Amino acid sequence: MATERGDNERYRQLARRTLMVGGLQAGMISLLVGRMYYLQVVESPKYKMLADDNRISMRLIAPSRGLIVDRAGIVVANNDQNFRALIVSEQTRDVDRTLGVLSGIIQLSPSEIERIRHDMTRRRRFVPVTIRENLTWEQVSMIEVNAPDLPGVIIDVGEVRSYPFADQASHLVGYVGAVSEKELDDDNPVLALPGFKIGKSGVEKTRDEDLRGTAGTSEMEVNAYGRTIRELSREPGERGRRVTLTVDSELQLAAHKRLLQERSAAAVIMDAQTGAIYALASAPGYDPNVFSKGIPSDLWKQLLDDETTPLINKAIGGAYPPGSTFKLAVALAGLESGAIGLDHSVTCGGTFQLGDHTFYCDAYRNGGHGTLNLTEGIAKSCDVYFYDVGNRTGIDHIAKVANALGLGLKTGLDIPGEHTGIVPSTAWKKRRYNQPWYAGETISCAIGQGQVAATPLQIATMVARFASGRAVVPHVTKEVFGEETASTDWPKLDFKPEHIEAVLAGMRAATDHGTGSSVQIKEPGMQMAGKTGTAQVHEYTLAEHDKSRIAHVEGDLPWKLKNHAWFVGYAPEDNPRYVCAVLVEHAGQFGSQAAGPVAHDLLLLAQQRDPARINVSADLGQRPI
Amino acid sequence: MAQISFSEPEPRLGGKLKMLPWFFILMVLVAGLAGGGALYSAANGSFMPWAKPHLIRFGISIAVMLAFGLVDIRVWYRLAYPTYLLMLALLAGVEVAGKVGAFGAQRWINLGFVQIQPSELMKIALVMALARYFHPRLPDEVRQLRTLVVPVLMILAPTAFVLLQPNLGTSIMLMMAGAAMLFVAGTRIWLFVVVAVAGAAAAPVAWHSMHGYQKRRVMTFLDPSVDPLGAGYHITQSRIALGSGGLFGKGFLNGTQSHLNFLPEKQTDFIFPLIAEEWGLWGGAALLGLFALMSYYGVGVGLRSRSQFGRMLAIGLSVNLFLYVFINTAMVMGLIPVVGVPLPLISYGGTSMLAVMMGFGMLISVLIHRDIKISRRYPLGD
């Protein structure tokens, strides 16, 4: 039949075509399996890594900051527990109600609640938002007790830096603060951790890298929304290294306390031989504990506006005209340059004439000091003697020696904020003012006035160098993680020993029968040698300047215009160990009146305590942490 | 002389039950249960919200499949055109009364008690209608161009409606299934070449008329890194799921990509990467093999049928199943753009499972009634 034939024909065609379709399908299936093989076998390692990248989130665990201890092991920078209240919005059904209940316990202000709500809208519902930091024990226990009424509120323990000595060592130890945008470092992701603090000043800043420690890591499995499913592994970090200071906290405390009797003052007590700082005080100070928790802006403004500059470490960051203390450098410069001999003597009649200009001495009213040799010139602090020496020596020789004694450049103390001070020279004046140097300027500089400026630390360093004959460099860090950090083997100064000895003889004479005799230590074997200084700050004309020196103890001048009082000394005088420099800012009194008694007290205490012998870490017998 | 042949005995119900293809039913069961397992894993080891409804629907669908299988093939023959027209009307209906679903696409009709997706049912209806159309036509007639006008329109009409929804995946499936049927029906091969060339020439026009999201899918398919967090995210995460599964997989319920929600739409279109992540290359290839076997079984059923309607119906349904599987797996592997085609019996979704199982029912019907001849001119009931 035709139709049967037609049907057979189309069946054969259908079978043929179906076979072709089937073949095509087989090819397509091979393509699929081939693709699967490529993805799941050939490229599998790559995709396994990508899958792990997806699901594994590395979290950094902030390391515990290293402690700072004094030379006796007494902690001066500690880590306290910081109790924080956090809220997880997805765990609380009614955020307003929960915050309301909480407000009854820790008094939340409307602005705080607004901030919390703002943070909540910005984060995912399972991410905790900070309600309040630095909760007290009472607040924590109240929150815990009321936990059933506070769904979603959790207490978290962090660390906050605390400074047991508060303002007494604030400038020395420094403080920590939040990492600023500029300080962020791509190589150090721990800096980006919320709440991570770094050293902002003092030892906290200098030794920040040691104190920081190494962040730990925690591998968390997270889902596509970033929610943590579980912790896969944890590698604890390494806590920051312990930093041991050369400072004797007892002495530091005493120094600070003593300075607080003055309106604004600074003191340095250091080891004459090693350069180790035993106390570095600047008063008034500030409470670094406030800084590490975040300082209120009104308090910050108040500190900034205070004319006693509590934020500045005056012992190292304040440059003052050194007054008569500078005469020690001028004397050595005179001797070293050959301008004067050891037997150089000057007759003081109260004035010194240079050209048509007259310079006055303190003893002008009394008809002058009479004829003085170098020792007595230093002891009586005769201005005329040093006008003469300065005039003979010349500013450039003075500058060279002053620099070698540590003036006019940073001493290299291992905390930030050091002022360079100023030791002028012809080159300096050319550079700074593009003007020639006048001989009259040397006369002012010779008594530590004019352009000369120095920090208490520089003055202390200068005397330590005289006392030891070595180029000691001051330092506050003794050990990091049990390892000595500072060298104590300083090179000898390139000055003739007899020249140095001549200056030391002058200092001994000053406290024996000179300007410093009133503050000499009475205890046998503890006598000090020293030098007073009284420095003018008022910007007088040259004529006024010289006249006003005669009657510089004016009580009616504004505080800011009053004289600075200096005293620098070392003890014991026959075997120099401790150097102490004291500056009383705008004391309005002679150095021997305002600064001398402070130096007396501190050098006496230093010798009684003898911190140079306190070296506890060696016999701690334990691994320093 | 055309007449209904009674030379073969009419099969009775008991006889039909004995003729049920148990091996094929077993394959269907394995696929459906594998889907249940995958959905159980997709819900992180829970029967809710997907595995349980899936398995219940699968149970109902098995009953529907068996019921359809026992229905006389001549009934399907008779119902072919009405079904097609009904589905075409429903497709037109979604344009009017359709409810906005995923991606703003209008794909659902809410009949009150159930939401149906006419486009899924249309895949079956089109195959029925084309088989019905070619049943009485002998090769000489098929080779004439004018014979092709009606079937081409039959393909293009629903394709156009589905494209309007817009649903690129289903329109591609309708086109390809229709083309495959025209091909096996005996249409001249050069026609396909002409259409292919014309299609390539029209591609820019098609590109121009595509929706923004469709263009984006094509673009991201070509380069997923263009939009790694947007449309490219699907493809990238899907590849990571597949690739990280490796040869043997991470183990049941241990897929990280799916369990941590990196893999989007893991319960619907992207369920294959979930399976391949947990069961590896072997698991994924085995599932592909199962579908290939089912597809070839369908072709076998078609080639054994004595009626042209039965042959074309079975082959069409088999091609349809193949297209589902190929388009879905090829898109999750990044071989073709993401067009939104579910993996039959595995992906979560009622209509597509019902449609596929109805198709399997008709396939069984073709098998059971393979010896029944259907008059070309005067079909039963005319």
Whole-angstrom distance, CA of residue A510 vs CA of residue A508:
5
- Residues in chain A with CB shorter than 8 Å from the CB of B304 are none
* Amino acid letter for position A447: I
- Do both A209 and A289 map to the same domain? no
Contact B1 A9 (CB under 8 A): no
pTM above 0.90, yes or no: no
Residue B119 domain boundaries: 13-368
- Do both A232 and A258 map to the same domain? no
Query: In this structure, is residue B379 part of a structural domain?
Result: no
Query: In this structure, is residue A45 part of a structural domain?
Result: no
Query: 3-state DSSP: chain A helix, strand, coil percent, rounded to 5?
Result: 45, 20, 35
- Do both A239 and A259 map to the same domain? no
CA A14 vs CA B185, B267, B318: distances in Å: 6, 38, 14
Task: Show which of A245, A262, A283 is a domain's final residue.
Answer: A245
* Tokens of residue B107, six digits: 């794909």
* Tokens of residue B360, six digits: 């399997």
- Do both A72 and A156 map to the same domain? yes
Where are the alpha helices (H) located in chain B, listed in sequence order? 13-19, 22-42, 51-70, 73-97, 118-134, 139-142, 149-164, 168-185, 189-209, 212-222, 231-245, 256-259, 271-304, 308-332, 350-368
- Do both A331 and A240 map to the same domain? no
3-state secondary structure of B283: helix
A17 touches chain B (CB under 8 A): yes
pLDDT by position in tens, chain B (length 382): 444 544 556 677 888 888 899 999 999 999 999 999 999 999 988 898 899 999 999 999 999 999 999 999 999 999 999 999 999 988 887 765 554 444 444 556 665 445 678 888 899 999 999 999 999 888 888 888 889 999 999 999 999 888 877 778 888 899 999 999 999 998 888 888 988 888 888 888 878 877 777 777 777 666 666 665 566 778 888 889 999 988 898 889 888 888 888 888 888 889 999 999 999 999 999 999 999 999 999 999 999 999 999 999 999 999 999 999 999 999 999 888 888 889 999 999 877 888 899 999 999 999 999 888 887 654 444 3
- Do both A555 and A449 map to the same domain? yes
CA distance A31 to chain B (A): 9
Query: In this structure, is residue B3 part of a structural domain?
Result: no
User: What is the pLDDT at residue B111?
Assistant: 55
Main-chain phi, psi angles of A370, to 5 degrees = 80, -160
Burial readout A261-279 (b: 16 or more C-beta within 10 A, e: otherwise): ebbbbbbbbbbbbbbbbbb
Instruction: Dihedral sign for Cα A91, A97, A98, A99, please.
Output: positive
- Do both A255 and A160 map to the same domain? no
Q: Which CATH number covers residue A357?
A: 3.40.710.10
Task: Show which of A214, A229, A245 is a domain's final residue.
Answer: A245
Query: In this structure, is residue B250 part of a structural domain?
Result: yes
Identity of the residue in B245, B262, B281 whose CB atom sits nearest the CB atom of A224: B262
User: What is the pLDDT at residue A313?
Assistant: 92
- Do both A426 and A568 map to the same domain? yes
- Do both A108 and A134 map to the same domain? yes
A178 touches chain B (CB under 8 A): no
Contact A48 B246 (CB under 8 A): yes
Query: In this structure, is residue B121 part of a structural domain?
Result: yes
Query: In this structure, is residue A239 part of a structural domain?
Result: yes
The total number of structural domains that make up chain B:
1
Contact B262 A223 (CB under 8 A): yes
- Residues in chain A with CB shorter than 8 Å from the CB of B135 are none
User: What is the pLDDT at residue B212?
Assistant: 77
Of A213, A242, A273, A173, whose CA–CA distance to A485 is shortest?
Answer: A242
- Which residue matches tokens 């300027």? A441
- Helices A383-393 and A327-337 pack at an angle, to 10 degrees, of 40
- Do both A233 and A362 map to the same domain? no
Residue A217 domain boundaries: 59-245
Whole-angstrom distance, CA of residue A43 vs CA of residue A24:
27
Query: In this structure, is residue B377 part of a structural domain?
Result: no
Query: In this structure, is residue A513 part of a structural domain?
Result: yes
Instruction: Dihedral sign for Cα A191, A192, A197, A202, please.
Output: positive
ipTM score for this prediction: 0.88
Query: In this structure, is residue A230 part of a structural domain?
Result: yes
Are B320 and B123 in contact by the 8 Å Cβ rule? The answer is: yes
Identity of the residue in B139, B242, B285 whose CB atom sits nearest the CB atom of A13: B139
- Do both A471 and A336 map to the same domain? yes
Q: Pick the range with the lowest mean pLDDT from A21-30, A440-449, A614-623, B359-368.
A: A614-623
Task: Show which of A245, A280, A305 is a domain's final residue.
Answer: A245
Q: Which CATH number covers residue A111?
A: 3.90.1310.10
3-state secondary structure of A242: coil
- Which residue matches tokens 């008694």? A597
Q: How do residues A262-311 score in pLDDT, each as one tens digit?
A: 999 999 999 999 999 999 999 899 888 887 777 778 888 888 888 888 88
Query: In this structure, is residue B84 part of a structural domain?
Result: yes
Query: In this structure, is residue A327 part of a structural domain?
Result: yes
Query: In this structure, is residue B339 part of a structural domain?
Result: yes
More confident residue, A4 or A401: A401
The total number of structural domains that make up chain A:
2
Of A168, A203, A163, whose CA–CA distance to A279 is shortest?
Answer: A168
A22 touches chain B (CB under 8 A): yes
Query: In this structure, is residue A162 part of a structural domain?
Result: yes
CA A353 vs CA A191, A324, A339, A440, B210: distances in Å: 63, 19, 19, 10, 102
Query: In this structure, is residue A217 part of a structural domain?
Result: yes
Contact A40 B186 (CB under 8 A): no
- Do both A215 and A255 map to the same domain? no
3-state secondary structure of A406: coil
